[in-house]
Structure formats: C-alpha cells, structure tokens
Amino acid sequence: MREENLIYGKHPLLEALRAGKEFEKILLQNGTSNAELKEVAALARQASIPVQYVPHQKLNSVTRKNHQGMIGFGSLIQYYDVQDILDHCYDENKVPLFVLLDRVTDVRNFGAIARTAECFGASAIIVPATGGALIHADAIKASAGALTTLPVCKVNRLEDAVELLKLNGLQILVSEMEASKNLHEIDFSIPLAVIMGSEGEGVSGRLASMADDSFKIPMVGITESLNVSVAAGMVLYEALRQRLLKA
C-alpha cells in the first residue's frame, strides 16, 4: 500500500471513519487499550471494515511516521450497492450478469478476473468484506485499470447477496468440477450471477447449495483444475458469446 493511501494517528483515522471514508482494512496495536482505539474498532465494525491487531513492529514496518498505534488502508476504489447496480441494469434495459467471488484471495487472480469481467460486459463483481483479496495498487495494476471502471460491491455475507439477487429475478449458477452439465449447456442469456470459488477450496458448501444450477468446464488433460481467473474468463466469454447471438 502506498504511503498516500494510508491514514494513521488517532484523530485523522477517527475523523475519516466518522466521515464514512472507505477502508480495505485497519491495523491496531495489540496490547493497547484507550478510548480512541476502542472507538476506531467500534466504527470499523459498524462499517464492516476488517480490523487486525498486530505488534508495534508491524505498524512500524508499514510507516515510520507517528501512527499512534493505528493505521488505516484507504480504499483505492469506490464500492457500489448491489441493489443500485441491479436497478441501473433494468433501467437501461440491460441483462444483469454478476460475478461473485468466494474466498478468492490472490490479488493477481482477482485483478485478472476484474479485467476479464469488464472486457466481457459483466455488471459488477461482488466480494465479501472479509476473506477476499485486498484491492490495492497491485490489484488495480493486475486488472489493467479495470477496477477503476467496473463496479465492485462489497457485502458482509455473500449469502445475503445471493438472496437479494434471487429476489430481483436472477438465476444463480455455480462452477463445480463434479457438475453434470457442461458450460455450453447453460443459458447465459438470462439475468444471472455466477459464483466462482478459490482453486484450493472451490465454492463453499453453503453458497453452492443456494445455486439454481451448476456447470463444469470440460477438460481432457490430466491437470485437475484451472486457474480461477482462467476459468472465470471462459465463463464470461461464453456468456458474451450467447448474448451476442441473441442480440
């Protein structure tokens, strides 16, 4: 994180939080207890900002300036509300296409997915407030700048986002290696959201159980799985291909 994207010190950090400034995460010095630190932690929880308690040495490694035991990593992008994106899609007569990322923590993969999603016309990416990749300068670089134009929605629980999408008429799809249908057998021309999981763990069981349908990407090699950003690219291309045919 670049120095200019850091907010540190008791009063600057409190003022930023009170004003609704968006943060990727906040570091607080462990073993320290004062009124300002407690208020920072409380305001962060209210805003669903991840908080980590770390040693003084960790804070010093981030900045040598007078951080007073607290450093905030300011967000480089604006986050959007899922319902606002949905309303915009329907107002513009566009067919919604959302990508939900479950436990995708690698910054380069996240940036590559964002780049592909923007190129192929996704409406937005939905990420969890915790447990996903941080959107910092490296992520924006990996996205080739797409993260500055593609809407990103940060939610407390992906399950709640899925329920909202369903209420708005979207079908929920999940990518699973054991699915019975191949990618091209799915109708991607309708309003839908696709859940992509991490390479190691895939989509969590609770989210997979909420999906309306599942698909797999057919492969003939001996390698067990694709990189998640490559898989997302294939899915999004298929969605664009089908939508162009029906345009």
- Give the side-chain half-sphere CA count within 13 A for 93: 1
Domain that holds residue 207: 82-246
**Does pLDDT of 108 surpass 90?**
yes
Based on the domain organization, do 61 and 178 belong to the same domain?
no
Q: What is the pTM of this model?
A: 0.87
Q: What is the DSSP letter of 174?
A: E
Q: By the 8 A CB rule, do 22 and 79 touch?
A: yes
**Does pLDDT of 1 surpass 60?**
no
Based on the domain organization, do 63 and 168 belong to the same domain?
no
Q: H or E segment at 42?
A: helix 35-46
pLDDT band at 216 (very low <50, low <70, confident <90, very high): very high
Based on the domain organization, do 67 and 122 belong to the same domain?
no
Q: What is the CA radius of gyration of the chain?
A: 20
Cα distances (angstroms) measured from residue 55 to each of 14, 23, 29, 73 = 20, 20, 6, 17
Determine the average pLDDT of the residues in 114-140.
92
User: Residue with structure tokens 């590559």?
Assistant: 112
The structural domain count of the chain equals 2
**Does pLDDT of 3 surpass 80?**
no
Domain boundary among 74, 107, 125: 74
**Does pLDDT of 177 surpass 90?**
no
- Which residues touch 71 (CB under 8 Å, ≥6 apart)? 6, 7, 8, 13, 26, 27, 59, 62, 63
